[in-house]
C-alpha cells in the first residue's frame, strides 16, 4: 500500500500542474475564443526569468516570484493581447490557433536568444540551465520533507503545487461565474453582438482574460521547474498532456478541467508504476491521458473537434522538434570507437556476425537496377498497406462488431504506442539474428495479427482483439527501420538516405492499397475480407524476403 499511496500523491502533484494549465486553457477559450497553446511558451518565459533573477542575480525567492509571476506574466499577457490577438478577434479559428502555436515555439527561443546575446555582447555572465544542478522553486531551498505515514514522503514543492492548483481553481471559478467581469468576458464570446449593444468593451474583456491566463501559466511554470526541468520541450509536453483535461471539461468548465487534470495525473502515475508495458515502451505513460480521453469521451458528435485538436498538437510537436533538430557534422564518428575496427571487427561490432556490409557503394540510379531493390520496393508496398489498413480501420472493425468506443480507442492507442517500441526491439534483434531474418519474422507477425483481428472480432472477444492490435503495431513499427538498415547493408552507407528515400516512396502505393481501396467497402462486411487479404499478403511478403540477396556478392551453394 505504501507504493500505491506514493504513486497517488505523486500523481496528484503532476495532476495539479495539469489542472493549472487546463484551467488557463479553459479560461482563455471560454472568455476569448482562443485555444491558447502559447501557455507553454509563457510558462517557460516566466520560469526562465525567475531562474535568472533568483539564481543569476541572487534576488530572494519572494521578490523574484513577485516580479516574475505578478508583474512580468500579466504584462506579457496584456502585450500579447494588444500586439497580436486583438487584431485576430474576428479571424478564423485556424488563424488564432496558428498564432498561438507560433508563441509556443517563439517565446522559449526568444528567451534563450536574449540571454545568449547578453552574455556575448554585454558580458553579463548570466547562468545557463545546463550548469545548474537544482532549479529553484517557490518552496524553501533545500526543500522540506514530511512523512505523514511510514514510507510516504511529501516535500514542500509538492505541497506548493497542490495548494497553488486549489487556490487557482477556486479564484478562477469565482471570477468567471460569480462576478460581473466574468459575465462580460463570457458574453463577448457567446453573444458578441448583444454584448456590444449593452456597452461591454470586448477589448477590455479579452485583455483581462489574457492577463489572468498568462498569470496562471507563469505560476505553473515556476512551480514546474524544480519538479521536472527547465527546458522548452518539457513545458510543451506537459501542456499537451493537459489538453485531455480541458476536453473532459468540454473546453468550458474550469472545475471539471481541474478535477480531470488531477485524475489524469493519478492515472498516469498508476499506469507507470504497475503496468510493465509502460516501463518498456517509451512514451506510453505520456499517452495515457489521450487513451483515456478517446476511450471515455469520443463520440460521433465531438470526434471532429477532438481530432482537430490532436492534429494541431501533432503539428506543434513536429514543428518544435524540427526547430531544435540539427544534423551532426559531416563525417562525425564517436571518438571512443575506431571506425576501421568497427567496419571489420566482429567483437566490437556484433551486428557483423549476422549482417555483412555492402560489396560497394551504390548510387540511387545504380541501386534501382538491382533485383534486391525491386524486392525491397514490393515488400515495402505490401507491408505499408497492411500496417496502414490496421491503423485506419481497426476502430471501424471494433465498432461494427459491437465492441464499442472503449475497445476501439484502446486497440488503436496500444497499436500506436507499441509501434514505437517495435522499432527499438527490431533493431536489437536484427543485430543478433540478421536483418533479413528479422524482417521475415516481422512480416509473418503482421500477417498473423491481421488474421487474428478478424478471428477475434468474429467471435466477439475484446481482449484478444486488443492484443492482436498491439501485435500489428509491434510488427508494423519494426519493418520501417529494418528496411532502412537493409538498404544501408545492401547498397552502402554513403547514399543510404537517398536510396531509402526511393524505397520509402513505395509507401504512396501502400497508402492507396491499404487506406484508399478499403474506403469503398468501409461500411460493409467486406472490410473483414480486406483484413483477411491483408493477412495473407503479409504472409506472402514474409516468404518474399527469401529473394533478398546482397548485390555484388557471389551466392555460393555448397553441399550440406
Q: Report the alpha-carbon distance of residue 496 to residue 485 in Å, rounded.
A: 9
Taking the CA atoms of the chain, what radius of gyration do you get in angstroms? 27
Q: What is the largest CA-CA distance in the chain?
A: 96
Q: In the chain, list all ranges with CATH 1.10.3470.
A: 2-324
103-125 core/surface letters (b: 16 or more CB in 10 A; e: else): bbbebbeebeeebeeeeeeeeee
Q: Please report which confidence band the pLDDT of residue 178 belongs to, taking 50, 70 and 90 as the band edges.
A: confident
Q: What is the pLDDT of residue 89?
A: 66
Question: Picking from 260-264, 267-271, 446-450, which range would have the lowest pLDDT averaged per residue?
Answer: 267-271
Please give the CATH topology (third level) of the domain spanning 2-324.
ABC transporter involved in vitamin B12 uptake, BtuC (1.10.3470)
Residue 283's pLDDT is 58
Distance CA 551, CA 180 (A): 77
Q: How confident is the model at residue 217 (pLDDT cuts 50, 70, 90)?
A: confident
- What pLDDT, on the 0 to 100 scale, is given for residue 75? 92
Given a cut of 50, is residue 520 above it in pLDDT?
Answer: yes
Q: How far apart are CA 469 and CA 542, in angstroms?
A: 19
pLDDT digits (tens, 9 = 90+) for 156-174: 777 877 787 788 778 877 8
What length does the chain have? Answer: 560
Split at pLDDT 50, 70, 90, the class of 430 is confident
pLDDT at 132 over 60: no
Q: What is the pLDDT of residue 262?
A: 83
Q: How far apart are CA 254 and CA 548, in angstroms?
A: 59
In the predicted model, what is the mean pLDDT of residues 434-450?
A: 89
Cα(371)–Cα(379) distance, integer angstroms: 12
Q: Which three cell numbers stand for residue 397?
A: 472493425
Q: Which residues contact 509 (CB under 8 A, 6 or more apart)?
A: 381, 384, 385
Does 559 have pLDDT greater than 60? Answer: no
Q: In terms of Cα–Cα distance, which of 111, 104, 87 is closest to 37? A: 104
Strand partners, 145: 155
What is the pLDDT at residue 338?
76
Angstrom distances, CA of residue 284 to CA of 56, 275, 300: 37, 10, 26
* Element holding 241 (H helix, E strand): helix 232-248
> Whole-angstrom Cα distance, residue 85 to residue 93?
12
CB 180 within 8 A of CB 37: no
The larger pLDDT score, comparing residue 287 to residue 434, is at: 434
Closest of 350, 545, 330 to residue 438, by C-alpha: 545
d(CA 207, CA 74): 10
Query: Which CATH superfamily is 348-547 part of?
Result: MFS general substrate transporter like domains (1.20.1250.20)
Dist. CA 34–CA 213, nearest whole Å: 11
Region(s) of the chain under CATH 1.20.1250.20: 348-547
Cell numbers 465492441: residue: 403
pLDDT tops 60 at residue 554: no
Amino acid at each position: 500500500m505504501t507504493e500505491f499511496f506514493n504513486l497517488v500523491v505523486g500523481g496528484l502533484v503532476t495532476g495539479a500542474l495539469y489542472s493549472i494549465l487546463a484551467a488557463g486553457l479553459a479560461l482563455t477559450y471560454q472568455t476569448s475564443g482562443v485555444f491558447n497553446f502559447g501557455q507553454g511558451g509563457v510558462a517557460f518565459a516566466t520560469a526562465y526569468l525567475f531562474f535568472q533573477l533568483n539564481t543569476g542575480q541572487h534576488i530572494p525567492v519572494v521578490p523574484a516570484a513577485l516580479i516574475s509571476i505578478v508583474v512580468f506574466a500579466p504584462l506579457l499577457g496584456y502585450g500579447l493581447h494588444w500586439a497580436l490577438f486583438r487584431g485576430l478577434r474576428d479571424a478564423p479559428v485556424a488563424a488564432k490557433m496558428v498564432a498561438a502555436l507560433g508563441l509556443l515555439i517563439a517565446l522559449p527561443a526568444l528567451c534563450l536568444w536574449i540571454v545568449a546575446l547578453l552574455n556575448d555582447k554585454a558580458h553579463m555572465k548570466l547562468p545557463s540551465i545546463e550548469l545548474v544542478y537544482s532549479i529553484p522553486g517557490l518552496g524553501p531551498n533545500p526543500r522540506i520533507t514530511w512523512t505523514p505515514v511510514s514510507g510516504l514522503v511529501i516535500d514542500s514543492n509538492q505541497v506548493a503545487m497542490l495548494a497553488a492548483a486549489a487556490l487557482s481553481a477556486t479564484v478562477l471559478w469565482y471570477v468567471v461565474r460569480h462576478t460581473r467581469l466574468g459575465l462580460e468576458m463570457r458574453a463577448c464570446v457567446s453573444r458578441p453582438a448583444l454584448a456590444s449593444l449593452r456597452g461591454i468593451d470586448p477589448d477590455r474583456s479579452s485583455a483581462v482574460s489574457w492577463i489572468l491566463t498568462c498569470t496562471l501559466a507563469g505560476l505553473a511554470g515556476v512551480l514546474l521547474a524544480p519538479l521536472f526541468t527547465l527546458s522548452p520541450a518539457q513545458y510543451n509536453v506537459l501542456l499537451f498532456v493537459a489538453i485531455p483535461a480541458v476536453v473532459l471539461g468540454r473546453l468550458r468548465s474550469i472545475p471539471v478541467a481541474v478535477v480531470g487534470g488531477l485524475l489524469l495525473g493519478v492515472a498516469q502515475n498508476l499506469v507507470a508504476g504497475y503496468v510493465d508495458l509502460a516501463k518498456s515502451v517509451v512514451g506510453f505513460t505520456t499517452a495515457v491521458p489521450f487513451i483515456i480521453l478517446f476511450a471515455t469521451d469520443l463520440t460521433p458528435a465531438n470526434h471532429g473537434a477532438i481530432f482537430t485538436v490532436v492534429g494541431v498538437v501533432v503539428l506543434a510537436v513536429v514543428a518544435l522538434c524540427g526547430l531544435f533538430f540539427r544534423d551532426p557534422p559531416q563525417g562525425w564518428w564517436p571518438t571512443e570507437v575506431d571506425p576501421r575496427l568497427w567496419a571489420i571487427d566482429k567483437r566490437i561490432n556484433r551486428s557483423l556476425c549476422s549482417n555483412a556490409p555492402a560489396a560497394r557503394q551504390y548510387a540511387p540510379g545504380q541501386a534501382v537496377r538491382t533485383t534486391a531493390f525491386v524486392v525491397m520496393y514490393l515488400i515495402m508496398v505490401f507491408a505499408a498497406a497492411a500496417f496502414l489498413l490496421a491503423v485506419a480501420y481497426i476502430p471501424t472493425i471494433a465498432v461494427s462488431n459491437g465492441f464499442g468506443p472503449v475497445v476501439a480507442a484502446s486497440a488503436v492507442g496500444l497499436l500506436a504506442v507499441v509501434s514505437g517500441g517495435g522499432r527499438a526491439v527490431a533493431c536489437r534483434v536484427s543485430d543478433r539474428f540478421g536483418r533479413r531474418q528479422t524482417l521475415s519474422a516481422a512480416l509473418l507477425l503482421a500477417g498473423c495479427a491481421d488474421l487474428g483481428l478478424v478471428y477475434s472480432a468474429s467471435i466477439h472477444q475484446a481482449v484478444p482483439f486488443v492484443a492482436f492490435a498491439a501485435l500489428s503495431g509491434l510488427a508494423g513499427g519494426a519493418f520501417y527501420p529494418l528496411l532502412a538498415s537493409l538498404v544501408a547493408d545492401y547498397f552502402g552507407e554513403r547514399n543510404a538516405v537517398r536510396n531509402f528515400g526511393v524505397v520509402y516512396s513505395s509507401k504512396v502505393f501502400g497508402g492507396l492499397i491499404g487506406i484508399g481501396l478499403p474506403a469503398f467497402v468501409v461500411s460493409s462486411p467486406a472490410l473483414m475480407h480486406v483484413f483477411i487479404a491483408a493477412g495473407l499478403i503479409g504472409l506472402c511478403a514474409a516468404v518474399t524476403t527469401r529473394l533478398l540477396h546482397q548485390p555484388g556478392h557471389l551466392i555460393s551453394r555448397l553441399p550440406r
